[in-house]
Amino acid sequence: MTSVKLKLKENDVKKIQEICKSFNNEPGELINVLHKTQEYFGYLPAEVQEEVAEGLGISVAKVYGVVTFYSFFTMLPKGRYPISVCTGTACYVRGAEKVLDEFKRILKVAVGETTPDGKYSITCLRCVGACGLAPVVMVGDKTYGRVTTDGVKDILKEYENE
Amino acid sequence: MELIKLTIDNRAVEVEKGTTVFHAAKKLGIEIPTLCYMNLADLNIEHKPGGCRVCVVEVEGRRNLAPSCATECNEGMVVKTNSMRVLNSRRTVLELILSDHPFDCLICAKSGYCDLQNMAIKMGVRSIPYQGEKSTYKPDFSPAIIREMDKCIMCRRCETMCNDFQTVGVLSGINRGFEAVVAPAFERDLDHSECTYCGQCVAVCPTGALTEVDHTPQVIRALADPTKTVVVQTAPAVRAALGEEFGLEPGTLVTGKLAAALRRLGFDYVFDTDFAADLTIMEEGSELLDRLGRFLGGDKSVKLPMLTSCCPGWVNFFEYNFPDMLDVPSTARSPQQMFGSIAKSYFADKIAVDRKEMVVVSIMPCVAKKFEASREEFKVDGNPDVDFSISTRELAALIKGANIDFNTLPDEDFDKPLGESTGAGVIFGVTGGVIEAAVRTAYELHTKKTLEKVDFKQLRGLEGIRSASVDFDGVEIKIGIAHGLGNARKLLEDIKAGKSEFHAIEIMACPSGCIGGGGQPLHHGDSSILKARSKAIYTEDELKVLRKSHENPYIIKLYDEFLGKPMSEKAHHLLHTHYFARKLKHIDID
Ligand code: SF4
Ligand code: SF4
Ligand code: SF4
Ligand code: FES
């Protein structure tokens, strides 16, 4: 997994310690602690995972193991407009991959990455339950259905001046 | 104790409640094949993730086949271990594993010793019906261990050793599904993790995914170079295990054949690390007496307990995990490094060879010693005291490659002066041995009396943490012993909390000490082998005429001619070291 370097501020470290403490520094609460921590930071860079490990008294490798096992944890900051392309079966057979490729081509970033200006990030989603609208793309909370490769440009245009 | 009756392959068997089907079958002499399962019973390590499903059996009344290694027996159970369905399923499981495995057997370091290969042979696999994507990973070359995760079968034995037994916590299963693999945090190289290089993951890995760095080509090159004087030293634990590589019973002592084989390989001087172990005792024992003497004299600034420092896996462990306690361990170097240092100074002078023209090779049961040999502190102007440290397994490969028929070799002696040793040096190879050797010498130096009995049986055994006290003529010396880093951690936490009562503590990173080291012949999960090796070591001790380090005439001579006395300035310079705080943070790693 690619990652970014981050020097944690004193406040950040304190926050992580607080979160761990609110779960009694219980190693068994790792997943919940990571959820809360990701809610706060938006993502889970290596330095944050090291603090969580310290807080729960477990190895960093274990924390990293859990972060990489569950797809809802991410080690990269999301863009201001996070783009999620559903790659569930229905969307996939109706061309989700081509749509995804088009986003990657235009924004010049890979899945899991964020554009250098911090505006867009691309992730894949498992089925969002809107198979009737396949292929489905989400930008933030907004859902777009039956997206075609040509439609990708139009979607991005909506956010052009923001 | 509740007993349970069941039938396996039409035969009745009675077992204790809680017994697994695998063990019940074993009781009947039925060996169900396993791959991920590992049981080091004498060390209380049982690993049964139930993951590989090679060990499946058919249980009457159950729809699915059950993994026998993780399924408990029930009253009246009817089990089939070799029905058509079981055999087919076992074969399919194996074929699926092989379909995502590189076909590197011809050039794999584990070839001939690999559990997966043996399983394929046993089942007579001749083709792989499944074709699919194979996972590929960048190989990870550290100074001591190579990780080739293409060959990982996700048995996760290494995790159990690294996390549960050693509590180092470097390895973890990461990702999921096809991408799942075992790796250090953030998929860093081992070199950028807090790995101690204890090699216990290597010792249990069933495949070639984890192996030691092979230094035999460099050794062969040195031996072939007429301008080099090649000196070899061999650690105590090697003689108690090397025979296994040549089909001898575990626990067969091969000291004499070992010396003969090294001579046949072309080493110019065949020496013994046991000599350096005696030297270690002189330094470490004197340091202990010095600390004790000052402490009893009322100096409360003295650090006690003193911890032994001859295990490099342990040294790495405390440098990473207890950076604020670096003044607790003895400053004495390990026997390997003491040997190298003396060979390239005292001995090199004696035979008038420049240290740059001398190559020191060590044969070690250990993987961490490779890393230790590469440490900057142990070099003089860039020239290492120990050039190459190879494992017992690597030595076996050298002997086989040189067409030497090991079992018919005569018994020969080590060369002098650095080949002479006492029984105290020999027992360095087993848990409790270093401290027993230290006690033998410290007692006599302190009380100025001769020991009536040199055997301190209270210091021996396989319990993970042991304690004993020894009467030093009215002063009671309390001693702690731990093998395995998880056990060591407990003793260290006590010291940190000010709860430790011990004056001296011996620590070895590997289960049962060096005889169970990461570089030894593979035990394949049979811990009775470790017991046999331990017995062999104590036998060799008993056979020795001299059993106390300070009685070794060549040690006495070394101090007379060269070092002066233990802990002298020269001894400090050549035989002691210092430690570094090495806590790792992601931000500091590029
Ligand atoms: S060598 Fe020891 S510390 Fe390093 S990964 Fe293996 S078991 Fe863990
Ligand atoms: S590296 Fe070896 S011991 Fe570890 S999971 Fe893979 S195959 Fe098993
Ligand atoms: S116990 Fe022995 S073999 Fe194991 S790491 Fe320590 S020195 Fe090496
Ligand atoms: S040996 Fe039983 S599941 Fe692997």
Whether B104 and B249 map to the same domain: the answer is no
pLDDT of amino acid A69: 92
Question: Domain for residue B488, yes or no?
Answer: yes
What pLDDT score was predicted for residue A140? 86
Let me know whether B116 and B155 are in one domain. Answer: yes
- Which band of pLDDT confidence, cut at 50, 70 and 90, is reported for residue B289? confident
> Which domain does A134 fall in, by range?
81-158
Quick one: residue A112, left, alpha or beta (phi over 0 = left, psi -120 to 50 = alpha)?
A: left
Query: What pLDDT score does B467 carry?
Result: 93
pLDDT bracket for residue B412 (50, 70, 90): very high
Does residue B263 carry a pLDDT above 60? yes
CATH assignment of the domain containing A20 = 1.10.10
CB-based contact A66:A1 (threshold 8 Å): no
**Do residues B357 and B229 touch, judged by C-beta distance below 8 A?**
yes
Alpha carbon distance A83, A156 (integer Å): 10
Phi, psi of A82 (to 5 degrees): -70, 125
* Residue B174 touches partner A, C-beta closer than 8 Å: yes
Are residues B55 and B122 both part of a single domain?
no
> What's residue B117's pLDDT?
95
| Confidence (pLDDT) at B237 | 98
- Which ligand 4 atom sits closest to the C-alpha of B49? 3
Give the span between the Cα atoms of B156 and B446, in whole angstroms: 49
Looking at the structure, do residues A65 and A125 belong to the same domain, yes or no?
Answer: no
Tell me, yes or no, whether A63 and A86 share the same domain: no
User: Are A86 and A65 found together in one domain?
Assistant: no
Amino acid identity, position B125: V
Q: Is B169–A60 a contact, with Cβ atoms under 8 angstroms apart? A: yes
Q: Is A37 in the same domain as A86?
A: no
The pairing of beta strand B78-80 with beta strand B3-8: parallel
pLDDT tens by residue, A68-97: 998 889 888 888 898 999 988 888 889 899
Q: What is the mean pLDDT of chain A?
A: 89
Domain count, chain A: 2
Q: Is the minimum distance from the CB of B97 to ligand 4 under 6 angstroms?
A: no
Cis peptide before B365 (omega within 30 of 0): no
**Same-domain check for residues B228 and B280:** yes
Whole-number pLDDT of residue B415: 97
Q: What is the pLDDT of residue A3?
A: 59
Provide the mean pLDDT of chain B: 94
| pLDDT at residue B456 greater than cutoff 60 | yes
From chain A, the residues in CB contact with B187 under 8 A are 1
Burial B139-164 (b: 16+ CB within 10 A, else e): ebebbbbbbbbbbbbbbbbbbbbbbe
Contacts of A154 (CB under 8 A, 6+ apart): none
CA B116–ligand 4 middle distance (angstroms): 12
- Residues B245-257 have pLDDT tens digits of 999 999 999 999 9
Q: Which residues of B479-502 are buried (b: 16+ CB within 10 A; e: fewer)?
A: bbbbbbbbbbbebbebbeeeebeb
Do B72 and B126 fall into the same domain? Answer: no
| CA–centroid distance, residue B114 to ligand 4 (Å) | 16
Shared domain for B41 and B149, answered yes or no, is: no
Chain A partners within 8 Å of B170 (Cβ): 59, 61
Q: What does the pLDDT read at residue B404?
A: 97
Question: Does B587 sit within 8 Å of A65, measured CB to CB?
Answer: no
B16 is catalytic: no
B202/B224 same-domain check = no
The ligand whose atoms approach the alpha carbon of B154 most closely is: 2
Annotated catalytic residue B372 = yes
According to the model, what pLDDT value does residue B413 have?
97
Which ligand number lies closest to the CA of residue B273?
A: 3
Per-residue confidence (pLDDT) for residue B392, from 0 to 100: 98
- Please name which ligand lies nearest the alpha carbon of B210: 2
Residue B67 CB less than 6 A away from ligand 4: yes
A53 and A102 share one domain: no
Residues A14, A47, single domain; the answer is yes
User: Which of B82, B115, B139 finishes a domain?
Assistant: B82
Q: How confident is the model at residue B61 (pLDDT cuts 50, 70, 90)?
A: very high
User: With 60 as the cut, is the pLDDT of residue A145 above it?
Assistant: yes
Q: Is B141 inside a domain boundary?
A: yes
- The radius of gyration computed from the CA coordinates of chain A, to the nearest angstrom, equals 18
Q: Which domain CATH number covers B39?
A: 3.10.20.740
Which whole-number Å values give the CA distances from B13 to B4, B17, B23, B62, B86, in the listed order?
8, 12, 11, 20, 20
Residue type, B561: E
Nearest one of A47, A66, A39 to A3, comparing CA atoms: A47
The domain boundary, picked from A69, A98, A119, lies at: A69
Residue B355: name the closest of B387, B328, B312 by CA: B387
Same domain, A64 and A110: no
Q: Which amino acids bring their CB within 6 angstroms of ligand 2?
A: B 152-158, 182, 205-207, 209-210
Let me know how many helices (H) and strands (E) chain B has, helices first: 20, 22
A38 shares its domain with A107: no
Which pLDDT tens digit goes with each residue over B197-212? Answer: 999 999 999 999 999 9
Instruction: Based on the fold, state whether residues B117 and B71 are members of the same structural domain.
Output: no
Nearest atom, ligand 3, residue B310 CA: 7
A7 shares contact with chain B (CB less than 8 Å): yes
Query: Residues A43-61: what's their mean pLDDT?
Result: 94
Q: Establish if A35 belongs to a structural domain.
A: yes
Q: How far apart are alpha carbons A34 and A27 in whole angstroms? A: 11
Whether B292 is covered by a domain: the verdict is yes
pLDDT at B586 over 80: no
Please indicate whether, in this complex, the C-beta atoms of A46 and B185 are within 8 angstroms of each other. Answer: yes
Domain boundary (A69, A89, A104) is at: A69
Q: Is B377 a catalytic residue?
A: yes
Residue among B168, B176, B185 minimizing CB distance to A64 = B185
pLDDT of B585 above 80: no
Strand partners, B147: B140, B210
Chain B residue with minimum CA distance to A58: B169
In the prediction, which pLDDT does A66 show? 96
B209 plus B221 within the same structural domain: no
Quick one: B111 and B61 in the same domain?
no
Please say which residue of A20, A45, A69 terminates a domain. Answer: A69
- Asked if the model's pLDDT at residue A4 lies above 70, the reply is no
Closest ligand to the CA of B517: 3
**Residue of B284, B319, B444, B540 marked active site:** B284
In a domain, B590, yes or no: no
- Tell me: the pLDDT tens digits for B173-230? 999 888 899 999 999 999 999 999 999 999 999 999 999 999 999 999 999 999 999 9
Q: What is the dihedral of CA B16, B17, B19, B21, to 10 degrees?
A: 110
Q: How many domains does chain B have?
A: 3
- The answer to whether residue A103 sits within a structural domain is yes
Q: Is B95 a catalytic residue?
A: no
Question: Whose alpha carbon is nearest atom 2 of ligand 3?
Answer: B514
CB contact under 8 A, A64 and B176: no
Q: Between B117 and A123, where is the model more confident?
A: B117
Please tell me which of the candidates A5, A59, A68 has its beta carbon nearest to residue B587: A5
Query: Cβ of B169 and A59 within 8 Å?
Result: yes
Please state, for a pLDDT cut of 70, what percent of chain A lies above it: 98
Are A101 and A150 found together in one domain? yes
Residue A74 lies in a domain: no
Q: Do B43 and B511 contact (CB within 8 A), yes or no?
A: yes
User: What is the structure's pLDDT at A78?
Assistant: 83
Task: Look at residue B228 and tell me if it is in a domain.
Answer: yes
Interface of A with B in 45-74 (CB under 8 A): 46-47, 49-50, 58-65, 68-69
Quote the DSSP letter at residue B367.
Answer: S
User: In angstroms, what is the span from residue B25 Cα to ligand 4's centroid?
Assistant: 14
Residue B549 among the catalytic residues = no
Rounded CA-CA distance B274/B403 in Å is: 27
Option in B170, B585, B586 nearest A61 (CB) = B170
Q: Say if A3 falls within a structural domain.
A: no
Q: Last residue of some domain: B82, B105, B134?
A: B82
User: Residue A87 maps to which CATH number?
Assistant: 3.40.30.10
Q: Which of B439, B431, B317, B316 is nearest to B365 (CA)?
A: B431
Mean pLDDT of B411-424: 96
- Based on the fold, state whether residues B442 and B478 are members of the same structural domain: yes
Q: What's the whole-model pTM score?
A: 0.90
Query: Which run of H or E residues covers position B477?
Result: strand B475-483
- Closest chain B residue by Cα to residue A7: B587
Residue B473: what pLDDT? 84
Q: Determine the distance in angstroms separating the CA of A6 from the nearest CA of chain B, rounded to an integer.
A: 7
Ligand 3 close to Cβ of residue B170 (< 6 A): no
Angle at B111 between CA B364 and CA B161, to 5 degrees: 55
Do A144 and A92 belong together in one domain? yes
pLDDT the model gives residue B494: 93
**Cross-chain residue pair A47–B169, CB shorter than 8 Å:** no
Q: Do the domain assignments include residue A75?
A: no
Q: Which distant-in-sequence residues (6+ apart) come within 8 Å of B185 by Cβ?
A: A46, A49, A59, A60, A61, A63, A64, B170, B172, B193
The residue segments making up the domain with residue B18 are: 3-82
- Tell me the chain B residues in contact with residue A1 when contact means C-beta distances shorter than 8 Å: 186-187
What distance in angstroms lies between residue B169's CA and the mean position of ligand 1's atoms? 8
Place of tokens 């031996």: B223
Residue A6: list chain B partners with CB under 8 A.
587
Residues B126-139: pLDDT tens digits?
888 877 778 889 89
Q: A69–B175: do the CB atoms touch at under 8 Å?
A: yes
CATH of the domain at B106: 3.30.70.20
Same domain, A137 and A86: yes
Asked if residue A4 is part of any domain, the answer here is no
B-chain CB neighbours of A56 within 8 Å are none
Last residue of a domain, one of B150, B184, B213: B213
Classify residue B478: in a domain, yes or no.
yes
Looking at residues B229-255, what average pLDDT do you find? Answer: 97
Kindly state whether residue B588 falls inside one of the protein's structural domains: no
Does the residue A5 lie in any domain?
no
Q: How does residue B590 score in pLDDT terms, banded at 50, 70 and 90?
A: low
Q: Is B173 on the interface with A (CB under 8 A)?
A: yes
Residue nearest to atom 8 of ligand 1 (CA): B162
Q: Are residues A117 and A58 in the same domain?
A: no
Flag whether residue B486 sits within 8 Å of chain A, measured between CB atoms.
no
CATH number, domain with residue B245: 3.40.50.1780
Q: Is A13 on the interface with B (CB under 8 A)?
A: no
Is B374 assigned a catalytic role? no
The share of chain B scoring above pLDDT 90, in percent, equals 84
Rounded percentage of chain B residues whose pLDDT exceeds 70: 99
The whole-number average pLDDT for the span A116-143 is 87
Question: What mean pLDDT comes out for the span B565-588?
Answer: 89
B462 with B501, same domain: the answer is yes
Tell me if B345 is assigned to some domain. yes
